[in-house]
């Protein structure tokens, strides 16, 4: 299982380590954020747009479809009770391509994005909480289980 670690840095700012990369995340102003970095929902939406864009660019590159100036927009709404993102709409704009005869194939490629597949097939998320009295097991302890 791959792990990405996010650490609280104080003042509602978070630092996430992703392999050799670091990413700051702030929270919405209503939660005490100060617009210093994207919010978690914005990163979630960005990951969907980037994933779709990468797969479409790869497909188009292999099939001679011009992707110069391609953009991927992801529109969404926010709902309450429970707070969540809804009505996601992905728009792929390829202003320098003619792809009507490949539109269905491009749509299938976009839908194959792992972020999209996770959204549409997610059955649940598990949570584990550790504290001073019940610390997180070390890697060696985890491997011996």
CA gyration radius, the chain? 19
pTM: 0.88
Instruction: Please indicate whether residue 57 or residue 143 has the higher confidence score (pLDDT).
Output: 57
Other C-beta atoms closer than 10 Å to the C-beta of 135 total: 9
pLDDT in tens, 27-65: 999 999 999 999 999 999 999 999 999 999 999 999 999
Fold of 40-122: GMP Synthetase; Chain A, domain 3 (3.30.300)
| 26-58 per-residue burial string, b: 16 or more CB within 10 A, e: under 16 | bbeeeeebeeebebeeeebbeebbebbbebbbe
User: Where are the domains positioned within the chain?
Assistant: 1-37, 40-122
* Cα–Cα distance, 26 to 35 (Å, whole number): 6
pLDDT in tens, 93-136: 999 999 889 999 999 999 999 999 999 999 999 999 999 999 98
Reading the block at residue 129, the tokens are 């909480």
* 57 contacts: CB under 8 Å, gap ≥ 6: 67, 70
CB 26 within 8 A of CB 35: yes
- Model pLDDT, residue 1: 72
Considering only CA atoms, which of 27, 21, 19 is closest in space to residue 43? 27
* Cα–Cα distance, 124 to 134 (Å, whole number): 24
């Amino acid at each position: 299982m791959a792990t990405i670690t996010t650490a609280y840095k104080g003042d509602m700012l978070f630092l996430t380590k992703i392999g050799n990369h670091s990413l700051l995340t702030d929270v919405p102003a209503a939660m005490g954020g100060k617009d210093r970095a994207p919010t978690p929902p914005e990163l979630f939406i960005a990951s969907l747009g980037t994933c779709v864009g990468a797969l479409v660019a790869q497909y188009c590159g292999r099939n001679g479809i011009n992707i110069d100036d391609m953009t991927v927009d992801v529109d969404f709404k926010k709902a309450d009770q429970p707070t969540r993102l809804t009505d996601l709409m992905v728009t792929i704009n390829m202003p320098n391509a003619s792809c009507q005869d490949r539109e269905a194939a491009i749509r299938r490629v976009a839908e194959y994005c792992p972020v999209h597949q996770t959204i549409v097939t997610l059955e649940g998320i598990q949570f584990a909480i550790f504290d001073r009295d019940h610390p997180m097991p070390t890697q060696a302890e985890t491997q011996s289980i």
